[in-house]
Amino acid sequence: MVSKKHWSPGPNVVVHRIERSQSGMVIVSGTLAARGICPDCGIQSSRRHGWRRRHLQDFPADGVRVSLALRVCRWRCISAKCVRRTFSDQTPGIAKPFRRRTARLSAIVRHLGHATGGRPAERLLHRLSIGGSDDTVLRQLKCQVEDAAASPKIVGIDDWSWKKSQSYGTVIVDLERRAVIDILADRSVESCADWLRQHPEIEVVSRDRFGLYAKAASQGVPQALQVADRFHLFQNLRQAIEEQMNMHGRALLSDADNISTPSHLLRSRLAHRQSRKEIFKSIHELRKVNIRRGPSG
């Protein structure tokens, strides 16, 4: 006969009894070892508030579903400065907060989702007596991505428009995972610097050449390396090449394009017109000296 310790999902859980319900499910009743450490302030409490029972789905046994009825202690925080008044013992190695499956069972669901996809993984889960829909499989994969993206190291900062030409905010992107991390209500130095101070693990900040974000990065994460993002570098290079070509030769843009460009390309438009006048003048001078086009070979 299998001993009770083989039914335990972790070293901190003491199993009291194993019984079978009327529906045929195996119910494992256990108690989590009391710790009493507040997750916010980190102070250990000795004031017990009560108990609560947490139900988690675990590995199936002999083709039968297994449910873990875990008894968790609840405490009162003894720190007067802490905003949390009561808390429960955490179970990081067994299950994350608000999850309905144990960590080891969630890993199986994620592996099946990676290997087969939503619908095939759903059919396999039912054959393994685990159960779950294709939406559950996809949700597990998304949770894994969110957990992996919790600590960005390389971020990009740029402004964006809430309402064009009226109000602007700040968008912060994780450049390693190509995902938006946060959106700030404005593009001020204070709000951006405050956000960066909350993420001291950032190593590289990619920004435009606007001095506002340079100042915010210097105040928020002074240890981080600041680099110019590729988009603005190529944009500045393109503008410089256009201006040089329009001043010393034929223009790269037509009159219609130049008219629709921003005001900083006004010099390019004027140089384009001057170039056309010089070509027109050269043609008339050649015509005066009676230079004709030779026969085409």
**When comparing pLDDT for 265 and 32, which is higher?**
32
Torsion sign, CA atoms 116, 117, 123, 127: positive
Pairing of strands 64-76, 86-88: antiparallel
In this prediction, residues 190-208 reach a mean pLDDT of 89
Phi, psi dihedrals of residue 6, rounded to the nearest 5°: -75, -15
Residue 205: the pLDDT is 92
> Per-residue b/e over 158-174, b at no fewer than 16 CB within 10 Å?
bbeeeeeeeebebebbb
CATH 3.30.420.10 fits 154-228, yes or no: yes
* Domain assignments of the chain as residue spans, ordered by start: 1-96, 101-148, 154-228, 237-288
CA–CA dist 118, 141 (Å, integer): 10
Q: What is the pLDDT of residues 116-168, one digit of tens each?
A: 888 899 999 988 888 888 888 888 887 776 665 567 889 999 888 888 778 88
Residue 100: the pLDDT is 87
Structure-block tokens of residue 226: 């600041």
In this prediction, residues 19-44 reach a mean pLDDT of 86
In this prediction, residues 221-245 reach a mean pLDDT of 84
Residue 204: the pLDDT is 92
CA–CA dist 77, 81 (Å, integer): 10
pTM given for the model: 0.48
